[in-house]
Amino acid sequence: MKILVTGGAGFIGTNVCEHFAEKGAEIIILDNLSRKGTEKNLRFLKKKIEGLKFIKGSITNWKTVKKIFEKNNFDIVFHLAAQVAVTTSVTDPRSDFEINALGAFNILEGARVTDQSPIMLYSSTNKVYGGMEEVVVEKKDSKHYGYRDYPNGISEKFGLDFHSPYGCSKGTGDQYFIDYARIYGFRTVVFRQSCIYGDHQFGNEDQGWVAHFLISAVNNKPLTIYGDGLQVRDVLYVKDLVNCYEKAIEGIDKVKGQAFNIGGGSDNVISLLEFIDILKDLVGHKIEHQFENWRPGDQRVYISDISRAEKILGWSPSYNVEKGIEKLNEWVKNNKEII
Ligand SMILES: NC(=O)c1ccc[n+]([C@@H]2O[C@H](COP(=O)([O-])OP(=O)(O)OC[C@H]3O[C@@H](n4cnc5c(N)ncnc54)[C@H](O)[C@@H]3O)[C@@H](O)[C@H]2O)c1
């Protein structure tokens, strides 16, 4: 089984490579190592996976992408490489577009022009549903917003409403992956991911807030909360996401051309202020934090309705918030020298 993982040295990519290499797959990574921390992930993977092939290059470069597909016949392609921060997409929308929209298109085209039909997985985002201004959000208690009318979260039936350059560029990839299944019979699946966290995540203020908060707390660094801290997300431990990808591959004939909302679901929801309380207990000291204005495109609540994935893929999260954060904390503790 030959697998291409774009963005394979990133957080989710590293977990994907590790998992599928353990199953005996031959892995090729295409990554330009633009994200901080990726060279550390790559070092980890090279040690762990015998025969790992790494290509340093950009998904925006059509010649590079085409050559990779001409030289290899892939069974599976994980398209994970992306510009991942909403903030950066606002300050530099052109490169965001080139990486996320053109990059996704290049990967699909790589398969199409070389007449291959690998299973192709795309990591999309909940941001494709936009700011959801019409959804009524209410304060559930002093630390937590919630939906008034969506107790199980947002399902795939919710209308697309790309918001922010990142929402637009990732949403473009999302729609192209679905359309290549319709027009060219490709076996694509789209995962509209909520907040994913876990080992090998070098989170920062712009992306990967769970890891960013935990790493800052361990290092006794003050945190900035954009908004009032009552904002709520469903969070999913990365190993559960990888299991979900695997279920989709196994059931590809049932799911090709479809999009799934993936996250921790309504059972794994946490607000920023609640997370700060957990962190206080975890690290044993007060977590210094200050507040700034809301950032564009930030939803007050986002909770994925994962019931379709549960029903069709026979998947559900196996790590609850406490167990997942404990795992991430273990990874942070064991990797202090590289973080
Ligand atoms: N982590 C989350 O919570 C989350 C949520 C929703 C969607 N996603 C999506 O999942 C995917 C993986 O995210 P992640 O959290 O692992 O982020 P990450 O930043 O750790 O990984 C992205 C990888 O892509 C690489 N990359 C960036 N630009 C590239 C380019 N032009 N060419 C080649 N490689 C390039 C980076 O070096 C990095 O290794 C992304 O597509 C992201 O949009 C992540």
Q: Tell me the per-residue pLDDT of 92-115, one tens digit each, with 9 for 90 and over.
A: 999 999 999 999 999 999 999 999
The pLDDT-based confidence of 289 (bands split at 50, 70, 90) is very high
What is the pLDDT at residue 69?
A: 98
Q: How far is the CA of 1 from the centre of ligand 1 (A)?
A: 23
Fold of 2-334: Rossmann fold (3.40.50)
Q: Tell me the per-residue pLDDT of 225-278, one tens digit each, with 9 for 90 and over.
A: 999 999 999 999 999 999 999 999 999 999 999 999 999 999 999 999 999 999
Mean pLDDT, rounded, for 174-199: 98
CA dihedral for 147, 153, 159, 163, sign (positive or negative): positive
- Do the Cβ atoms of 156 and 45 come closer than 8 Å? no
The CB-side HSE value for 197 (13 A sphere, CA atoms) comes to 33
The pLDDT-based confidence of 177 (bands split at 50, 70, 90) is very high
CA 163 – CA 210 distance, rounded (Å):
22
Q: How far is the CA of 83 from the centre of ligand 1 (A)?
A: 6
Q: Coil, helix or strand for 232? A: strand
Catalytic residue among 150, 166, 180, 302: 166
What is the pLDDT at residue 41?
A: 98
Q: Coil, helix or strand for 96? A: helix
Phi, psi for 38 (deg, rounded to 5): -65, -30
Tally Cβ neighbours within 10 Å of residue 143.
18
DSSP letter assigned to residue 25: -
**Structure pTM?**
0.97
The pLDDT-based confidence of 296 (bands split at 50, 70, 90) is confident
Q: Tell whether the model's pLDDT for residue 338 goes beyond 90.
A: no
CA 287 – CA 24 distance, rounded (Å):
43
* Residue whose CB lies within 8 A of the most ligand 1 atoms, among 4, 35, 189, for a mutation test: 35
Q: Where are the domains of the chain?
A: 2-334
Q: Tell me the per-residue pLDDT of 113-144, one tens digit each, with 9 for 90 and over.
A: 999 999 999 999 999 999 898 999 999 999 99
**b/e per residue 210-240 (b: at least 16 CB within 10 A):** bbbbbbbbbeeeebebbeebbbbbbbbbbbb
The pLDDT-based confidence of 336 (bands split at 50, 70, 90) is confident
Residue 11 tokens, joined:
């957080």
Q: Tell whether the model's pLDDT for residue 297 goes beyond 80.
A: no
CA 245 to chain centre: 12
Helices (H) and strands (E) in the chain, counts: 13, 15
